[in-house]
Chain A
Amino acid sequence: MKDKFKIIIDGKELPARHGQTILEIANNNGIYIPTLCNFEGLKPQASCRICSVKVNGRPMTACTTTVSPGMEIENDTPEMNELRKIIVETMFVTGNHFCPSCEKSGNCELQALAYRFKMDVPRFPYSFSKRDIDASNPKIMIDHNRCIKCKRCARGIKTDDGKDLFAFKNRGEKIEISIDNELAKNISDEKAQEAMDICPVGAIIKKERGFIDPIGTRKYDNKPIGSKVKEVQ
Chain B
Amino acid sequence: MGKKITIEPVTRVEGHGKVTIYLDDNNNFKQSRLHIVEFRGFEKFIQGRPYWEAPVIVQRLCGICPVSHHLAAAKAMDVIVGAGTGDGLTPTAEKMRRLMHFGQVFQSHVLHFFHLASPDLLFGIDGDPAIRNVIGIAKMHKELAVQAVMMRKFGQEVIKVTAGKKIHGTGAIPGGINKHLSTKEKLNLLIGQDPMNVDKMIEWSLSGLEFFHNYHKEHKDIIDNFAAYPSKHLSMVRKDGALDLYHGVLRAIDSEGNKILDDVDTQDYLEHIAEEVRSWSYMKFPYLRKYGPKDGWYRVGPLARLNTVDFIPSPLAQKEFELFKAYTNGKPNNMSMHYHWARLIEILHCAEMMKELLNDADLLKGELVTKGKKGNEGVGVLEAPRGTLFHHYKINENDQITMANLIVSTTNNNIPMNLAVESAVKQFISGKNEITEGMLNAVEVGIRAYDPCLSCATHAIGKLPLQIKLYDSKNNLLDIKTKNDE
Contacts and interface: CB of A to CB of B under 8 A. Distances in A.
Do A and B actually bind?
yes
Contacts of B53: 101, 103, 210
Contacts of B57: 100-101
Interface in B152-203: 163-165, 168-171, 173-174, 178-179
A213 B369 CA distance: 13
B165 A215 contact: yes
A207 B50 contact: yes
A212 B55 CA distance: 13
A172 B277 CA distance: 47
B60 A133 contact: no
B50 A213 contact: no
A208 interface: yes
B195 to A, nearest CB: 25
Overall SS of chain A's interface: loop
B164 A100 contact: no
Nearest to A101: B57
A86 B72 CA distance: 40
Nearest to A211: B170
Interface in A163-180: none
A41 interface: no
Overall SS of chain B's interface: loop
Contacts of B52: 103, 208-211
Contacts of A210: 52-53, 173-174
A231 B384 CA distance: 46
A100 B56 CA distance: 8
A101 to B, nearest CB: 4
A222 interface: no
A133 B50 CA distance: 9
Interface in B46-99: 48-50, 52-53, 55-57, 60, 81
A157 interface: no
B398 interface: yes
Contacts of B275: none
A72 to B, nearest CB: 45
Interface string A194-210: 00000000000101111
A42 B25 CA distance: 82
Interface residues of B, number: 24
Contact of A215 (B49, B164, B174, B399): B164
B27 interface: no
Interface in B356-399: 398-399
Nearest to B48: A133
Given A135-B398, A136-B398, A141-B399, A212 B168 contact: no
B178 A135 contact: no
A19 interface: no
A101 B56 contact: yes
B281 interface: no
B170 A215 contact: yes
Contacts, number: 55
A214 B400 contact: no
Given A207-B399, A211-B178, A214-B164, A101 B60 contact: yes
Nearest to A98: B57
B176 to A, nearest CB: 10
A216 B164 contact: yes
Chain A interface size range: 10 to 19
A208 B395 CA distance: 13
B246 to A, nearest CB: 20
A100 B179 contact: no
Nearest to B169: A215
B399 A214 contact: no
Contacts of A205: 50
A207 B53 CA distance: 11
B8 to A, nearest CB: 30
Contact of B170 (A135, A136, A207, A214): A214
B58 to A, nearest CB: 9
Contacts of B399: 135, 141, 207-208
A142 B53 CA distance: 14
Nearest to A207: B399
Nearest to B164: A215
A140 to B, nearest CB: 11
B444 to A, nearest CB: 32
A211 B400 contact: no
Given A210-B173, A210-B174, A133 B168 contact: no
A100 B60 contact: yes
Contacts of B165: 215
A205 B171 CA distance: 19
B50 A214 contact: no
Interface string B21-57: 0000000000000000000000000001110110111
A135 B400 contact: yes
B171 A214 contact: yes
Interface string B472-485: 00000000000000
Contacts of B48: 133
A214 B399 CA distance: 22
A214 B168 contact: no
B28 to A, nearest CB: 49
Contacts of B398: 135-136
Which of A209, A210, A211, A214 has the largest number of chain B CB atoms within 10 A?
A210
B330 to A, nearest CB: 45
Interface in A121-144: 133, 135-136, 141
5 contacts: A141-B50, A141-B399, A208-B52, A213-B178, A214-B164
Given A210-B174, A212-B178, 6 more contacts: A100-B56, A133-B50, A135-B400, A211-B52, A214-B178, A215-B165
List of 3 A-B pairs having minimum Cβ-Cβ separation, nearest first: A215-B164, A210-B52, A214-B179
